[in-house]
Chain A
Amino acid sequence: MSIESLDPDDVDAADILGSAIERREDPALITGEAEYTDDIQLPEMLHMAILRSQHGHAEISDVDTGAAEEMDGVVAVYTHDDVADEAVSRDGSLLIPTGWLLDSLRQVDHPVLAKDKVRYQGDAIAVVVAEDRYVAHDATNAIDVDYERLDASADPDAALDGEAGQLHDDAEGNVAFDWEIGDEERTEEAFDDAAHTVSLDLENQLLIANAMEPRAAVADYHPGTDELDVFMTSQNPHLHRLLMSGVIGHPEHKLRVKAPDVGGGFGCKIHHYADEALVALVARDLERPVKWTSTRTEGYKTDAPGRGHVTTAELAMDDDGNITGLRVDTKANLGAYLSTFAPAVPTYLYGTLLSGQYDIPAIHASVTGAYTNVPPVDAYRGAGRPEASFLVERLASLGAREAGIDPAEFRKKNFVPDNAFPYQTQVAVEYDSGEYGKPMEKALETVDYDAFRERQEEAREEGRYLGIGFSCYIEACGLAPSELAGQLGAQAGLWESSLVRFHPSGTVTAFCGTSGHGQGHGTTYAQIVANELGIPYEDVEVVEGDTDEIPQGMGTYGSRSAAVGGSALVKSSQKLVEKAREIAAHQLEADPADVEFEGGEFGVSGTDRSLGIKEIAQQSYLAHDMPDDMEPGLEATSFYDPDNFVFPFGTHVAVVEVDPESGEIEFENYVAVDDVGNQINPKIVEGQIHGGVAQGIGQALYEGAVYDGNAQLLTGSMQDYAVPKSLHIPDMETESTVTPCPHNPLGVKGVGEAGTIAAPQAVVNAVTDALEPFGVDTVEMPMTAERVWNAVNEQATADGGDAADATDADTATDADADTGGEN
């Protein structure tokens, strides 16, 4: 069940790719040697603190910073007008940009410091810079703000209905965009002709990423050269450099963004926030290093939350239970302003995945984006795809129940058939490869499904409620190609860049434009490059996350690093090998076409003459004997732009027992069978699945940002927002199948988000399966004990029965189980 990790020294060079070797990142991380942003201490460094709004929505009539400025240890206080001074802002926009546009998008200004209005509690009103953290904090408390409170709402439905008042002059009715995908007419016909339909109203709640390391930045300005260094918790330093240069008016080539060790991201460190730009701005203005570290409660109010959908979804089926149509209407919460990738998440990352693993002939989805008084909403692990997968898989379970077919059978009969790949969905994307039955069969075998249904029946007779839930998810990662992304509204290309450089002594540094934050890129990239170059793994060092070291890059998010970054490294390695081949051919006096490369050796076919690649590297720098017109040195840079997304898939199964009396849910088993294509390091793949599933279970059972009617966050600390603890997450069984990606050189598909995409609906389906005898077909997430208990009670009340009376329910169960069957 658990993959055993290997010491890299015990792995043959030829086997390094695909081996579950231990991570080389770990020694620094387990000894305290790692350097996270807040660990950086610079001479003369100042500390910044930010005063944020007390209200979800308010006009600001006055900001009095007098008392704060007079405090001992306070160096400067800035309000909007102070930073707008040209001497401070240069020609910066001081507006946070949006990196994805839609035709119907109503863009709104997002100032780094609120000018005269605040639109969510995290909106920054003033910053204080002081000699230490404590004093900076004290001074924010001494700033006096006069607010005129306005109506506010955290709910997209309410905001669209006008209950939040108007957030922005440029977005009438708080509508950020209207978007649709699929064929409305054909879908309507499918529903008209359907033998069975099911409908589901659901809320995919707002989640807060809760990376263990809060966001932080340290900026250091060098007046002599006008160079500005920004160290920050970033998933994509190059993108931050690009965006920040415009915001603060600093030339991109004089701005360095470096991500030191980063303590998790889960999406919330992709986006460009006002805070980090303010750190850079004030450090440049004061000509002293400045540090800002978010407190956790500050993070709850400012880190971009994810999800936030209110949806109605319907499924049409024919008489035999074949899915014939899917219709979706979603109100998506975008928060107070548009975050970096916000418009893409509830549209192209969501609507395009609505076919799931199924061959659905007609699909239509419409999405309305709403401005509300919560922090700007953006990608959180999975970003759009969990929302799609959740509703498809909830409908599959409800559809199976409606059609009277076993839920596993129902799925199998509707899968895209193996021979249909590449499969063109009705929602724009083309699935690259898949064999959806494989993980399903493996999962059924692992949980011993037939035996489970028997056990379930026996248990119900004893008044115990077991349930099983399936999730056959699809995910799309490595968003690509750039041309397509551009057509869809992306304001950036979605390639990845790398540089592979031999040193004269034969070791290699591989640079990649991705920026890992816990994924183990240092290990997996070295496995890739060592394999390509045929050199020992320990001879390859990987460098990421620093705009001064790496030419260009797009960062780490959307499970793209292996598929796109890894492929870029392959491409650079191959370029390098080609150059080395020519040098080898020259020195071996052979035709390059006759020189074969294998296991790090260039050999002339049919002879025993050969040269090792390390030898060639040395020769390339000596440059004593090179082919005509060839430059010395041995390195290669490449930009890899994939042909398509990659589409990992799998089946997750949750087995739970629900206590209707207390509403408590216990896991009996959790099985994850994932097909993420080829695996570079199975141990790391397994770890990604574990962590992803835990976050999915978190969404299913524990997590959710709760706001009151004034858009005041009520779950604003770790005492109130339940980040799952060790006792909340079950041991999981992880298995995999391998269907290589056909269009990238590694055949990899991406694994970072799979678990999070798969898990919630597996758990919800299991709980509703367990509570079927009570007539419960849905429970909103997070399925707290109270919600489960309420669901049981409400249903019992509706039936005129007694919730706690399990005996009556048992009778109903038996009857239903007979028709439900195990066929």
Chain B
Amino acid sequence: MAEHDITLTVNGTEHELEVESRTLLVHALRDELGYTGTNVGCETSTCGACTVHLDGDAVKSCTLLAVQADGATVDTVEGLADHGEFHPIQTGFQEEHGLQCGYCTPGMMMTATDLLEENPDPSREEIREGLEGNLCRCTGYQNIVNAVENAAETMGSGAVADGGSVEELAGGDACASDPNAGAETTDRCEVRWPDEGESE
């Protein structure tokens, strides 16, 4: 049985672990490291419940070997909120009733933040297209689309009103002031917020 020593930086914390060749990233996250917020809904890479960010991009963590992610930065739903302050996508989901059972929600939010990073002001159609890799069986998607619009609005308007200060928008200055903040933390902030230049 082939074992590999790998390093994963999950939500800013570095973990060293031993995995089999065949261990899927999602199982490493859930079973080995205890990040159970990332869910598993299928084995055909269809449902997107397992979506996390790998080096800043939304990927299906059930379709990656843990060993492939060696050395990478992984961001999961547990890393979205910042010291109890919700990320706008989380607020959007709560305010718009964008979830019912909540099982698809972590993956849905991780895809949505990836979408908003690329397209800070998507149309409803673009949101639906952006989320086609995530299945939800409860909401009929309408309130999920509303939730993403809500988040886009918060992020967009905040950026404009405040002149685009990422730190202030994040509900604090965690990114700027955290003495331990390494590259990962910065990455996370970038993932959450459109660049100043793009926010207009």
Contact = CB atoms under 8 A, between A and B. Distances in A.
B3 interface: no
B142 interface: yes
B137 A691 contact: yes
A84 interface: no
B39 interface: yes
Contacts of B129: 726-727
Nearest to A692: B140
Interface stretch (A30-38, A188-196, A425-433): A30-38
Contacts of B47: 212, 296, 718, 723
A723 B133 CA distance: 12
Contact of B100 (A30, A34, A264, A755): A264
Residue of B35, B36, B49 most packed against chain A (CB within 10 A): B36
Contact of A29 (B99, B127, B132): B99
A723 B44 contact: no
A332 interface: no
Contact of A30 (B109, B124, B134, B136): B109
Contact of A134 (B20, B94, B101, B134): B20
Range of interface residues on B (Cβ < 8 Å): 35 or more
B103 A213 contact: yes
A697 B116 CA distance: 28
Contacts of A297: 43-44
Interface stretch (A92-100, A167-175, A512-520, A600-608): A512-520
Contact of A518 (B36, B41, B101, B128): B101
B101 A517 contact: yes
Interface string A1-40: 0100100000000000000001101111111111110110
A138 B27 CA distance: 16
A27 to B, nearest CB: 7
Given A5-B95, A263-B102, A690 B135 contact: no
Contact of B102 (A34, A691, A725): A34
A662 interface: no
A261 B138 CA distance: 15
A726 B103 CA distance: 16
A687 interface: yes
Contacts of B101: 29, 211-213, 261-264, 517-518
B94 A295 contact: no
Contacts of B81: 31
Contacts of B35: 32
B170 interface: no
Contacts of B97: 5, 22-23, 683-684, 686-687
Interface in B125-153: 127-129, 131-132, 134-146
Interface in A276-298: 293, 295-297
Contacts of A266: 137
B71 to A, nearest CB: 23
A518 B138 contact: yes
Interface in B33-90: 34-44, 46-47, 49, 76-78, 80-81, 86, 90
B77 A213 contact: no
B104 interface: yes
A732 B44 CA distance: 30
B106 interface: yes
Interface in B92-114: 93-97, 99-106, 109
A32 B96 contact: no
Nearest to B99: A29
A554 B170 CA distance: 45
A296 B31 contact: no
Contact of A36 (B34, B39, B131): B39
Given A26-B93, A718-B44, A695 B137 contact: yes
Contacts of A28: 102
A518 to B, nearest CB: 3
B94 A26 contact: yes
Contact of B144 (A132, A692, A726): A726
A729 interface: yes
Interface in A503-532: 517-520
A424 interface: no
Nearest to B47: A718
A478 interface: no
A32 B44 contact: no
Nearest to B142: A690
B22 interface: yes
Contact of A719 (B44, B49, B93): B44
B102 A261 contact: yes
Interface in B158-189: none
Contacts of A210: 137
A377 to B, nearest CB: 19
Contacts of B22: 134
Given A26-B99, A263-B102, A727 B41 contact: no
A807 interface: no
Nearest to B96: A5
Interface string A193-219: 000000000000000001111100000
Nearest to A755: B140
A214 B41 contact: yes
Interface string A681-717: 0011011001111110000000000000000000001
B142 A731 contact: yes
A517 B96 CA distance: 19
Given A690-B142, A726-B128, A727-B129, A296 B94 contact: no
B143 A211 contact: no
B151 to A, nearest CB: 11
Contacts of B141: 690, 694, 726, 729
Contact of B146 (A2, A213, A694, A719): A2
A732 B93 contact: no
A693 B140 contact: yes
A31 B80 contact: yes
B146 A691 contact: no
Contact of A718 (B37, B46, B76, B80): B46
A263 B143 contact: no
Nearest to A732: B142
B137 A30 contact: no
A41 interface: yes
Contacts of B142: 2, 690, 729, 731-732
A518 B137 CA distance: 11
A31 B140 contact: no
A133 interface: yes
A602 B41 CA distance: 52
B84 to A, nearest CB: 9
Contacts of A31: 37, 77-78, 80-81, 86, 90
B39 A23 contact: no
A272 B138 CA distance: 22
A517 to B, nearest CB: 6
B119 to A, nearest CB: 15
A22 B37 contact: no
Contacts of B131: 725-726
A261 B100 CA distance: 11
A654 to B, nearest CB: 14
B23 to A, nearest CB: 8
Contacts of A264: 100-101, 103, 137-138
A212 B41 CA distance: 6
Contacts of B95: 5, 22
13 contacts: A22-B95, A31-B77, A39-B36, A211-B101, A212-B103, A213-B101, A686-B97, A691-B100, A718-B46, A726-B145, A729-B141, A729-B142, A731-B145
- Please give me the 5 A-B residue pairs with the lowest Cβ-Cβ distance, nearest first: A32-B37, A263-B103, A29-B102, A518-B101, A694-B140
Interface of B: 20, 22-23, 27, 30-31, 34-44, 46-47, 49, 76-78, 80-81, 86, 90, 93-97, 99-106, 109, 124, 127-129, 131-132, 134-146
Given A39-B30, A134-B23, A718-B44, 19 more contacts: A30-B80, A30-B99, A31-B78, A32-B38, A38-B40, A134-B22, A211-B101, A212-B49, A212-B104, A212-B136, A212-B138, A214-B41, A264-B100, A264-B137, A519-B100, A694-B140, A723-B47, A726-B141, A729-B142
